[in-house]
Each structure stands twice: as C-alpha cells, then as structure tokens.
Amino acid sequence: MKTVFDKAVRDDLINRINSLNENSRAQWGKMSVYQMLKHCTLAEEMYLGKTHYKRTLPGLLFGKIALKSLLKDETPMSRNAPTSKHFIVTETGGSVSAQKHLWIDLMEAYADFSHPEIEHWFFGKMTKEQVGLFVYKHTDHHLRQFGS
C-alpha cells in the first residue's frame, strides 16, 4: 500500500498539489479549493506533531475499528467523510498559492518524520506506519475531490 513516507509517492502527491489553482472546483463536497488546502495543512500539522486535539467520544468508542477498516486495503476514502470541527474551514478568499506552498512544505517534512506514534482526534494513537498510510489516503482523497 502507498505511504507518504515513500519519496516517490510523496513526490507524486506534491506534483498533484502543484496542479491545483484558483479555478479548481470540487467534484463533491462543499469546500472551495482554498478551504480544502487549509483543511489539509491543518491536518498535516496534527500528523507531524505540531498540534494536538482532544479525542472525541465517538472516536474513543469506534476509532480503532474505523482505522483498521480504512487501512485494510488500498480502497480510497469515501466521499464526504466526516471530520472534526477543528478541520472545518469556513473562511474564504485566502491565498491558494500560499496554502499550496505551506502544504507542500509540510508534505516534505515527512522525509524527516520522527514521531513513533501520534494521537489522532478520532483514531487515537497511531503508529508511524498507520500515519504514513492514512496521510496518503487523506491526501489522495482531497486531491481526487478536486480532480487532481
């Protein structure tokens, strides 16, 4: 399965991010391209250990089961998957270019990832391997959302 810790996979994702522009439109969901980029940079900051969010009750009850199901094979994430309120971006009009550059910088940081495990707001503790697989799936999900 693909992981963000593989340089070739990471480079492909970065190329796909670079293909986005102000005119990119969602094929599903409600986010603008700027909102999606901001959503993804906020998520990367959590996966890279820069921010932390408290676990939710549904996550405590179902998080491990959901993570196992999501990572069992290469099936892409489903459309309109739920997220935490911390990752819902309502602001508009921000710089698409600036968010792309920030997201790419954060993606490149996975080359030096050094956290043995992180705490996800829904899934709970995740190993490095799980982080790599999930970050790939999450990134691919949003790039597909915008036709990239």
Q: What DSSP designation does 83 have? A: -
Q: CA 95, CA 51: separation in Å to the nearest integer?
A: 22
What is the arithmetic mean of pLDDT over 7-35?
A: 97
Mean pLDDT, residues 83-105: 93
Residue matched to tokens 């409600």: 30
Q: Which amino acid is at 11?
A: D
Predicted confidence band of residue 82 (pLDDT cuts 50, 70, 90): confident
The torsion angle over the Cα atoms of residues 62, 118, 89 and 32, rounded to 10 degrees, is -90
Q: Domain extents for the chain?
A: 7-145
pLDDT at position 116 is: 78
Q: How far apart are CA 29 and CA 113, in angstroms?
A: 31
Confidence of residue 9 (pLDDT cuts 50, 70, 90): very high
Task: Please give the helix or strand (H or E) that residue 117 lies within, else none.
Answer: strand 117-120
d(C-alpha 32, C-alpha 54), whole Å = 27
Q: What percent of the chain is predicted at pLDDT more than 90?
A: 86
Element (H, E) at 9: helix 7-18
- CA angle 91-94-97, nearest 5°? 145
Collapsing DSSP states into helix, strand and coil, what is residue 126? strand
| 65-79 tens-digit pLDDT | 999 999 999 999 999
Q: Quick one: the chain helix, strand, coil %, rounded to 5?
A: 55, 5, 40
pLDDT tens-digit profile of 113-132? 988 788 999 999 999 999 99
